[in-house]
A and B are shown apart, each in its own frame.
Chain A
């Protein structure tokens, strides 16, 4: 799946993205690290550009949002209507159960997951059989376990603010 280079405007969020290069997400797999300062639109880019593109391509994905505590209520509800026993399960167990149910997905998106679980290597162990592409928003440096899980196919996507027109922020999105 390819996100084409060009301008993407999210008027509702006062963000103007300029994508310098095409972003090929699912061609050969790997880990895409979205980096950039707070308020540079990484989450908005995920939710308003990447996820709609995945939906449009009918590419199944799993998304773990930044507000994971909120999301867990929906996971608990989803798993219970699927007949999975969730009573007493803690958040890690819930995530594991959910990821295990989502084996049709080939893309896993994690938005600042390391904020809750700084050593999140366990996620890669759970998904190794079916996930090809990881999209990870983070502020932390990569650790060895994560690098190994990505088979050294690591791509950085950097979000940089290049200016502002009043409340509207102009953000350059550059792949490295």
Chain B
């Protein structure tokens, strides 16, 4: 069982490394057509594995980062920073690579189950750490939609300049998510350690 799990995790991390080597840092990074194709395939994969709603929500989450990349790229293009004339093309690629790689990583990591972690030949303390991380990030993903819903109801974030409000909203979203994950990891870790300790003592 241990060997199968190690093999499975090896394949998952291998695929991740190959993906990043080929499309993020490596030979196909500059190929716009291929990057568009990779983007479409990954979005389709996410729709099939999760849902269209989940995919849209992930893209919305990436949007402010992609937009800021785009704005900076545009500025660099107009001022011809470092004498380069390919800023626009490079920005466009980055705008595709960022969501593609993030969502690809997320999809691949969801193939690692709790049972896989339990079967890893590592200490129980490390297993608890990994289980806590997985559980917190899974919950965090679901809670993001609810956070976003709440933020859309706050009058302070509705009034005034639309762009300013959106930036504030995303800042709040990231802070809220960070606070949630921090607390959730701490609580889950404490709970798991406590249960393990009691089960171990009962067995003794």
Contact = CB atoms under 8 A, between A and B. Distances in A.
A20 B89 CA distance: 58
A63 B149 CA distance: 11
A60 B106 CA distance: 38
A74 B176 contact: yes
A105 B154 CA distance: 10
Contacts of B146: 67, 70
A63 B179 CA distance: 21
Contacts of A104: 155, 159
Interface in A77-91: 77-78, 80-82
Most buried by A among B153, B158, B180: B153
Interface residues of B, number: 22
A63 B150 CA distance: 8
A81 B155 contact: no
Interface residues of A, number: 23
Given A80-B175, A81-B171, A71 B156 contact: no
Q: Name which of A47, A78, A105 has the most chain B CB atoms within 10 A of its CB.
A: A78
Contacts, number: 58
Interface string B13-30: 000000000000000000
25 contacts: A51-B153, A55-B158, A60-B158, A60-B159, A61-B155, A62-B155, A63-B153, A70-B143, A70-B180, A73-B176, A73-B177, A73-B180, A74-B151, A74-B172, A74-B173, A74-B176, A77-B176, A78-B151, A78-B157, A78-B172, A80-B175, A81-B168, A81-B171, A101-B156, A104-B155
A38 to B, nearest CB: 20
A64 to B, nearest CB: 10
B172 A102 contact: no
A63 B172 CA distance: 17
Nearest to A63: B153
Contacts of A101: 156
Most chain B C-beta atoms within 10 Å of own C-beta, residue among A51, A62, A73, A81: A73
A95 to B, nearest CB: 13
Interface in A42-82: 47, 51, 55, 60-63, 65, 67, 70-71, 73-74, 76-78, 80-82
Contacts of B154: 74, 78, 102
B199 to A, nearest CB: 28
B172 to A, nearest CB: 4
A61 B156 contact: no
A76 B176 contact: yes
The 6 A-B pairs of least Cβ separation, nearest first, read A77-B175, A77-B176, A60-B155, A77-B172, A73-B176, A74-B150
Contacts of B147: 70, 73-74
Nearest to A51: B153
Interface in B85-124: none
Nearest to A58: B158
A74 B149 CA distance: 10
A89 B177 CA distance: 18
B159 to A, nearest CB: 7
B155 A105 contact: yes
Contacts of B158: 55, 60
Nearest to B178: A77
